[in-house]
Structure 1
Amino acid sequence: MRIDLHTHSTASDGTDTPAELVANAAAAGLDVIALTDHDTVGGHREAVDALPEGLTLVTGAELSCRVDGVSMHLLAYLFDPADAELAQARERVRDDRVPRAREMIRKLRALDVPVTWEQVARIAGDGSVGRPHVAAALVELGVVPTVSDAFTREWLGHGGRASAAKHELDPFDAVRLVKAAGGVTVFAHPAAVKRGAVVPESTIAALAAAGLDGIEVDHLDHDAPARARLRGLARELDLLTTGSSDYHGSRKPIELGACTTDPEVYGEITRRATGAFPVPGAGGAVRR
């Protein structure tokens, strides 16, 4: 059983539509896929309606958080999407994305990079505009060779010359909100040092005490020593360990199923969730 619990679609910063994503997941031989767009559940309906037979969808979102000045992402699974308090928190984060993108564009233009809002908006399409769309514009302009190369202090990385602050949730509040909505929480790529500063293990321990369910261990941004260290920390804190691709389509050179989650861990996630249930595929038949 192959399970990928972290993917993105055009509802945020991926390049596959939700329908394309589930079709590509089935073609990649996956049995379970989680759709975890940034701070939105906007792609869930399309993904469910297009879900191929034999593929199960886990609904979720990747929540933007910040603690002690360090950004972090929290994967939230199988929560009630209609929960008002959690929906309002996600909306507040999304509403701040456009001003943030415009500020990054302003800083880039001050650095003589001819990026425009129109270019970034075109790249974002119907999705929630974000930093990866600005990064993709830099690739189009030939400023950097890949999107990943834009996420440095030279350009858009945290503390970078063209970075801009945004509203982010307190992760302790986020854990509380997701749990209250019947969901399960997993700290995404906690040791991804290439992306910038990471939270200390003491913070992970505090989050575990506050109800965090797990940490994402098998991720392409984690090397072997980091994965071993995180597994040891998870055992110490009694946290679940997941694996996933963090797939973004053609925007990043990562394949669906590049890393996967153990079926027993997936089973525990579904047992803990009360806000929603995994959706089994029905050959693309529309559900009402």
Structure 2
Amino acid sequence: MPMRIDLHSHSDASDGTQPPADVVSRARERGLDVLALTDHDNVDGHRAAIEALPAGLTFVPGMELSCRRAGQSIHLLAYLFDPLEPDLAAECVRIREARELRGRLTVERLVELGAPVTWEQVSELAAGSPVGRPHIARAMVAAGVIAAPELAFTPEWIGTGGRAHVARYALDPERAVRLVRAAGGVPVLAHPKAAKRGTVVPDEWIAELAEAGLFGVEADHRDHEAPARAHVRGLAGELGLAVTGSSDDHGELTGHRLGCETTAPEVYERLVAEATGATPVIAG
């Protein structure tokens, strides 16, 4: 039976709903052989995930870096990097600090719009993790403003360009690619053609990232329709990039979908071979 590899997941160390230990446990229950934990702009969940790693599961330390170009949000997955590399670590701190400021300003705008949401409610939902928009969305549900978290990500509320949307600091993606490579890591562009969420990365930008050292692109993702997947695969072939597939699981927020999309074993082997900053962790 071929290996089942999921290279994109989140825990409550960022905007997922489950602790890292629960994420790795569920991954094994879902029949996965390899799982990357890629919380936003931090590696805080790695230790707990490794300590709870079940037999038969290989853990890939990762992170999803927040990037922006020309006002557009772009996400870069980073694997097997050295988390102590000074330049990358400093940028992650800067991004996390900007995330909190954005959260506070977003709550202020929601209150101005008549939504009875407080920063204390949002912080409680984050439970010590960096505050993200999903925490704010959950607070809006709890306050009776909306019926479901996904309804927050619209022009009506906190979606990109929405009434309560607040932009924040993020890395230029080309710089992010170079930082990950300098830290011995392997960068992959997450869901580049996710029209559903309003983040379609132009092909010319992807070509520039390939020149900067991008390893691959995430083609098989729930937010990619079949034509988008085919386009990403074709572009990857032209640019010499690897193609990955991942669940982008956020626990309850995404319906516990670990393993719904996977990466080919040969791509995973290439990714590991290129990394010099860290190695996968195999359960004892």
TM-score, length of structure 1 as denominator length? 0.96
1:83-102 correspondence to structure 2 within 5 Å: 83-102=85-104
Structure-2 residue corresponding to 1:230: 232
Cα deviations by residue, 1:198-246 (Å, 9 ceiling, x for unpaired): 2211101111111111110000000111101111011011111101110
1:168-247 correspondence to structure 2 within 5 Å: 168-247=170-249
Where has structure 1 moved over 4 Å in runs of 4 or more?
A: none
1:1-288 correspondence to structure 2 within 5 Å: 1-282=3-284
Equivalent residue of 2:174, what SS? helix
- Residue type matched to 2:171 in 1? L
TM-score, length of structure 2 as denominator length? 0.97
Between 1:211-220 and 1:194-203, the stretch displaced more is 194-203
Distance 1:29 1:197, change over 3 A: closer
Q: Is the 8 A contact 1:120 1:137 kept in 2?
A: yes
Paired with 1:239 and 1:140, the residues of 2 have a C-alpha distance of 43
Aligned residue pair count: 282
Cα deviations by residue, 1:5-58 (Å, 9 ceiling, x for unpaired): 000011111111111111111111100000000000011111111111100000
Question: In the TM superposition, what is the alpha-carbon distance from 1:195 to its structure 2 partner?
Answer: 1.4
- Residue type matched to 1:181 in 2? A
RMSD between aligned residues: 1.0
- Unaligned stretches of 5+ residues in structure 2: none
Paired with 1:23 and 1:90, the residues of 2 have a C-alpha distance of 27
Equivalent residue of 1:96, what SS? helix
Paired with 2:149 and 2:262, the residues of 1 have a C-alpha distance of 23
Q: Is the 8 A contact 1:157 1:196 kept in 2?
A: no
Question: In the TM superposition, what is the alpha-carbon distance from 1:254 to its structure 2 partner?
Answer: 4.4
Paired with 2:149 and 2:244, the residues of 1 have a C-alpha distance of 25
Paired with 1:167 and 1:262, the residues of 2 have a C-alpha distance of 34
Q: Is the 8 A contact 1:147 1:252 kept in 2?
A: no
Equivalent residue of 1:72, what SS? strand
Equivalent residue of 2:8, what SS? strand
Cα deviations by residue, 1:98-134 (Å, 9 ceiling, x for unpaired): 1101111111111111011111011111211111100
Paired with 1:69 and 1:91, the residues of 2 have a C-alpha distance of 21
Q: Is the 8 A contact 1:148 1:252 kept in 2?
A: no
- Unaligned stretches of 5+ residues in structure 1: 283-288
Paired with 1:145 and 1:222, the residues of 2 have a C-alpha distance of 25
- Residue type matched to 2:36 in 1? A
Q: Is the 8 A contact 1:215 1:241 kept in 2?
A: yes
Cα deviations by residue, 1:47-91 (Å, 9 ceiling, x for unpaired): 111111100000010000001221100000000111111000111
Paired with 1:210 and 1:50, the residues of 2 have a C-alpha distance of 36
Q: Is the 8 A contact 2:220 2:261 kept in 1?
A: yes
